[in-house]
Amino acid sequence: MAGGPDTSIVVCNFGTHSVRIGFAGDAVPFYDEPSTVWAAPEAPGGPAAGGSRKRPRPTTGRRIFFAAGAAPAGALQGRRLLVVDNLLAPRAAREAWAEEALAWRGAAGISFIREPVAICFAHGFVSGLVIDIGASGCRVTPVEAGYPLVMAHRQSTVAGDFMDLATSVITRSSVGKAST
């Protein structure tokens, strides 16, 4: 499948640490940058003043990427938009994002696909066990006939650099040893 500006579908993938936006069929997205993430402010007065001990999780809004020019003004005009969405994303967030993409950027239509399903489809399967080891976590989700089995979804915070380190330690310790 040939991609490029002649393709009518623009694919958006909002990962934990990066945002990728490109034309369907292209090997390289036209926008591939780290996510803009900022830390939420401490509660006024901190825990000593009765504030929360736990800081809110750093977050970023998807609207920032349109406002910052992640999708050039003409990129979505008259095209369909395919958004690869987090499995557990709330419906209200998808609705607000779709409204902005359709109204502000002139997209002809918008479709959301859950991340595990998109991964299965990208590899030519409609069913399978999707293991996604990302920068901030590891997620395992079974997909059956194009539908993610959300109740069987499992997530762990062990991933990224920790997994790289553990793998290198295991491989270094097993080099030169006889296997039985």
Domain assignment present for residue 131? The answer is yes
Domain assignment present for residue 40? The answer is yes
Q: What percent of the chain has pLDDT over 70?
A: 64
Domain assignment present for residue 179? The answer is no
Tell me which of 126 and 106 has the higher pLDDT. Answer: 126
**CA dist., res. 34 & res. 70, Å (int):** 11
Kindly state the helix (H) or strand (E) to which residue 112 belongs, with its residue range: strand 109-114
**CA dist., res. 128 & res. 144, Å (int):** 7
pLDDT tens-digit profile of 158-179?
777 777 777 788 887 765 555 5
Domain assignment present for residue 105? The answer is yes
pLDDT higher than 50, residue 109: yes
Domain assignment present for residue 107? The answer is yes
CATH value at residue 100: 3.30.420
Which distant-in-sequence residues (6+ apart) come within 8 Å of 16 by Cβ? 35, 134, 135, 136, 137
Instruction: Give which of 47, 4, 43, 6 is closest to 27, Cα–Cα.
Output: 4
Kindly state the helix (H) or strand (E) to which residue 57 belongs, with its residue range: none
Domain assignment present for residue 103? The answer is yes
CB 78 within 8 A of CB 66: no
pLDDT of residue 57: 45
pLDDT tens-digit profile of 111-152?
888 889 988 888 889 999 998 877 777 889 999 999 999 899
Give the pLDDT band of residue 60 (cuts 50, 70, 90): very low
The letter for the amino acid at 172 is R
Tell me which of 16 and 11 has the higher pLDDT. Answer: 11
Q: For the chain, what is the domain count?
A: 1
Domain assignment present for residue 2? The answer is no
| Least confidently predicted of 7-16, 26-35, 67-76 | 67-76
Q: Which domain holds residue 98?
A: 9-174
DSSP notation for 118-166 = HHHHHTT-SSEEEEEE-SS-EEEEEEETTEE-GGG-EEES--THHHHHH
Domain assignment present for residue 67? The answer is yes
**CA dist., res. 37 & res. 57, Å (int):** 10
Backbone angles phi, psi at 159, to 5 degrees: -170, -165
